[in-house]
Structure 1
Amino acid sequence: MGWLFHNDMLQSQTPAEYIAEQYSRETDVYKANVLATATVGGTIYAAIRNEFKGATAAYVFCGVFLFKNNKRDGFGYKSSDEAMGPCEVDCPDRIMRLLSPVEDIPDPGYAAEWRANVTAAKSRRLAARKQAASFRQGDTIRLRHPAQFGKTGISADAFTFIEYRKRTPVFAPLSHPHFLCRLSRATLATAVIERRAT
């Protein structure tokens, strides 16, 4: 499904509140209720309970919604669900815990693979956090691909760890030792760390 846009930004409710309202509905055939939502960056994850009238059991699946909400574009969203195997895999545990087992979902499609990807992404994030807390002054960090720093024109794939600022590691490119920068957790997750000899 493509993007659906309104001309104006949402102002009286959040994007997650809008999605919860739109996807909680009842017809002669089924009833849907959004149990909970979580917003991560530009993505809303929603635990949606579906109940088909006359069926023996209801089930809960994950809806995944990309959204924009700004003055230039207005409000827009693109809907998918776990059965479609979306690329977005940062679904919080509190939403995952509400979902029915995959075998209880009619036509689960790629749901099992998507849930496995969510688990793998969580493991990578935890490893990156652990790694980011373990740097020592003078460690060298080598990236798979050079990092670009916008209008500065600086591009580098090797950095020295300088210090922590509010628990955030700060680096300097080996080629520009006076330029201080931060590197994303995703970038650090695939980096090679060369420990400074002590």
Structure 2
Amino acid sequence: MGWLFQNDMLRSQTPAEYITQHFSSETDTHKAIVLATATVHGTIYTAIRNEIKTSSVAYVFCGVFLFKNNKRDGFGYKDIDETMGPCEVDCPDRIMRLLSPVEDIPSPGYAAQWRAEVAAAKLRHAKARKQAKSFSPGDTIRLSHPAHFRKSGIAADTFKFIEYRKSTPIFHPVSYPHFLCRLTRATLATASIQT
């Protein structure tokens, strides 16, 4: 499904509250209840309980909602669910724990693959967090792919660690010693410390 927009941005409720209100519904044959939501970087992850009244089938699946809420665009969202295999894989554990087993979802599609990708992303983030705390001043790290800094036009794959600023590691590219930068967790997950 594509994006759905309204002209104005949401002001009286959050995007997660809007999604909860609009995706909890009941008809003679179906009932859907949003049990929980989590907002992560422009994506709302939801645990939605779906009940098919005619067959007494009930299961909880993950709904994934991309959203924008700003003055220029207004409020808009794109709804996907786990069976479609969304690219967004930062779903928090508190949502994942509410989901039914994949076997209980009538048409699971890509749900098993998506859940495996969520688990793999969690491992990558944990590795990056651990690695980000292990640097010593003067350490040199090499990335698997160059990091690009658009405003400066600099691209580099080898960096020297300078210091921590409020637990954030600060680097400079080896070839640009006066350019200080931060690297994302995803980028650090691919890094190796050079000896």
Instruction: Find runs of 4+ consecutive structure 1 residues off by over 4 angstroms.
Output: none
* 1:187 CA displacement: 0.7
Partners of 1:57 and 1:106 in 2: CA distance: 9
Query: Does residue 172 in structure 1 map to residue 172 in structure 2?
Result: yes
Deviation at 1:147, TM superposition (A): 1.8
Residue type of the alignment partner of 1:103: E
How far 1:101 moved relative to its partner? Answer: 0.6
| SS in structure 2 at match of 1:176 | coil
* Aligned sequence identity (%): 76
Partner of 2:110: 110
Instruction: Identify unmatched segments of 5+ residues in structure 2.
Output: none
Partner of 2:147: 147
Structure 1: segments with no counterpart, 5+ residues:
none
TM-superposed CA distance for 1:148, in Å, is 2.0
Q: How many residues align?
A: 195
Is residue 2:57 matched to residue 1:77? no
Q: TM-score, normalised by structure 1?
A: 0.95
1:58 alignment partner, SS class = strand
Q: CA RMSD in A?
A: 1.0
Aligned to 2:121, what secondary structure does the other structure show? helix
1:9 maps to: 9
2:127 counterpart residue number: 127
The C-alpha deviation readout for 1:49-73, integer Å capped at 9, x for no partner, is 0111132331100000100111111
- Equivalent residues in 2 for 1:26-41, closer than 5 Å: 26-41=26-41
Indicate the SS of the match to 1:118. helix
Match of 1:156 in 2: 156
Amino acid at match of 1:91: C
Q: State yes or no: 1:55 paired with 2:55.
A: yes
- The one-letter amino acid paired with 1:3 is W
